[in-house]
Every structure is written in C-alpha cells, then in structure tokens.
Copies of this chain bind each other. A is one copy, B any other.
Amino acid sequence: MIERLSVIGVGLIGGSLALALKAAGYCRHITGVGRDAGRLAQAQQAGVIDDYTTDYAQGVSDADIVCIAVPLNASLEVFKKIHGHLKDGAVLTDAGSAKACVLDDISKAFGQVPDTFVPGHPIAGTEKSGFEAAIAELYQGRRVILTPVEHTASAAVTTVRNMWEAAGAVVETTDVAHHDRVLAATSHLPHLLAFGLVDSLAKQKDVDEIFRFAAGGFRDFTRIAAADPTMWRDICLRNSGPILEALHDYRLDLDELAAAIETSDGDALTEIFMRAKRARDKFNG
C-alpha cells in the first residue's frame, strides 16, 4: 500500500499506472507533476490524479514513491529539478524504454546513482499517447523489467516490484546492458522498420492505391508506425548504440535474403522462412 505517489509525466504510461493503482486500492493519494498546468488540470478532472503541480520540487517533497514517466530526452531535466527535494527514504523509479541513458542522466543530476533509484521499464503501451488514452488495465499481465544496479537497495526494488504487481504486471529483473540490447532488437528495431517501410511507401506517387491494395498483414506490420514520433526519436537518440548494432545485424540478414532471391536460391529462402516460422509459432503458442 502506498500513501503518496507522485507521477511525473501524466501521459499514457504514467496515467495508466495511476488509474491501475487507484483501481487496485493500492494508493491513497496521487499527485501529478508536469510542465503544463492546463493538461494536468484536465487529467485531474478526468480522475487520473488527485491533485497536481508544475513545481517539481514541491510535487515530490512528501511522496513515498516518485515515478518518472517522461520522454527519454526529458529525464535529465526532471532529475535536476527534483534532486535534493525527495523525502528521506522515498523510492524513485522511472518508466523509460532504455535504461543506460537514464542511469547516465541521474548520475549527472544527483552526482551518483542513489541507492533508492530503481530503473524500470513497463513493456506496455499502445500507438496512442496522452492521459486520455490511459486505462487501468494497460499493465494487466504485461511485463515490467527492473534493472537495479549493484548498490540499489533491495528494499527499494521490492517496493517498486510490489507497485507494478499491484497494477497487474509481471515483474522481472535483468541487467541494464542486456535490457537495452534485447529491447533494441525486439521493440526499437521493429518500430524503425515499420516507420521506414510506411515512410518509403508514403513517398511514392500512387501512395493511395498502394495503401488500398495493402492486405491485413501490412496493417498489423505497420500498426506500430502510428506510435508517437517524439517518443521514438528520443529512444533512437538515447539507445543509439544497441539500436545501431541490431540494425547492422539485421541489414546483413536482409543482404542474405536479397542474395538468395537474386540467385534464385529456393533452398536458402525455404530454410530462412522455416526457421522464422518455427520461432514465431513457438513464440506464439
């Protein structure tokens, strides 16, 4: 049970966490913190948060848990604004899609990574954004990955784990570098590929017909290209190393595919497609 939670960044992710904890009766009071008083007021009217402030220092000063759910490019600024204003023993966590960059930011802002900071990443979301899209069920059965560092206080990890479990999530822990590498491969790269495909088609002259002739598979494949451009720009900039690695490996695989097609190597194509289908079927079932 949480007495007071402060959510910095009341969008889809922060708003859904607030709604989920309210629905679970796991949190008594939730303060929304952000730059836009108008939006925060709307979020309060919508019942997503209990009150709000644009004063970051005051907004976190009596919180037991502070959850930062802002675009990755905003986290450094947020850490600077709240540094020195957290209550003793308050637990700090975040919801960024990449973790090494967030640890860089907090050590820049705090001088070191505090024992009470638990880097977190809820693997959930939709192509929508903003608190209007927030739903209490967003985290039901979804994974949340925590990437504590060596000196992170285990009590803080437990507090954050309990919070996400109360919100319905399945919590796992792994190390920072591994998280960033795996997410680059399974989430960041696919988004790049989908954005890239839709963009390259959108640039063609008969774009309307191209999209009209597109089948359901294309719809599924490109749904993630409707995701928030700013958020994905930040992810690309802040997790660039692992993403570029994944993109590099992937382009080698594409070269292999292109070569097999150029040389009409049906066996090579079948082998690649079979291996992929086996993996996909296994992943599915």
Contacts and interface: CB of A to CB of B under 8 A. Distances in A.
19 contacts: A178-B206, A186-B210, A186-B211, A190-B197, A190-B221, A195-B272, A195-B273, A196-B257, A196-B272, A198-B279, A198-B283, A199-B275, A199-B276, A200-B253, A202-B279, A225-B280, A227-B277, A228-B277, A237-B261
Contacts of A282: 211
A143 interface: yes
B185 A210 contact: yes
A244 B254 CA distance: 11
A274 B283 CA distance: 31
Given A190-B222, A199-B275, A221-B223, 5 more contacts: A192-B257, A196-B253, A201-B279, A217-B223, A237-B266
A186 B199 contact: no
Interface of A: 123-125, 142-143, 145, 172, 174, 178-179, 182-183, 185-187, 189-204, 206-207, 209-230, 232-233, 236-237, 240, 243-244, 247-251, 253-254, 257-258, 260-262, 264, 266, 269-270, 272-284
Contacts of A219: 283-284
A225 B193 CA distance: 14
Question: Which 10 residue pairs are nearest across A and B when measured between Cβ atoms?
Answer: A229-B273, A202-B279, A186-B214, A198-B276, A217-B224, A199-B276, A211-B283, A220-B220, A195-B276, A200-B253
A224 B218 CA distance: 9
A183 B213 contact: yes
A211 B145 CA distance: 14
Contact of A280 (B182, B189, B226, B278): B226
B244 A261 contact: yes
Q: How many copies does the complex hold?
A: 2
B185 A204 contact: yes
| Residue of A185, A186, A220, A260 with most partner-chain B CB within 10 A | A186
Contacts of A221: 190, 193-194, 220-221, 223-224
A226 B176 CA distance: 31
Contacts of A247: 254, 257-258, 261
A123 to B, nearest CB: 5
Nearest to A212: B143
Contact of A182 (B191, B206, B275): B206
Contacts of A186: 201, 210-211, 213-215, 218
B202 A275 contact: yes
Contact of A226 (B193, B194, B281): B281
From A217, A229, A281, name the one whose CB has the most chain B CB atoms within 10 angstroms. A217
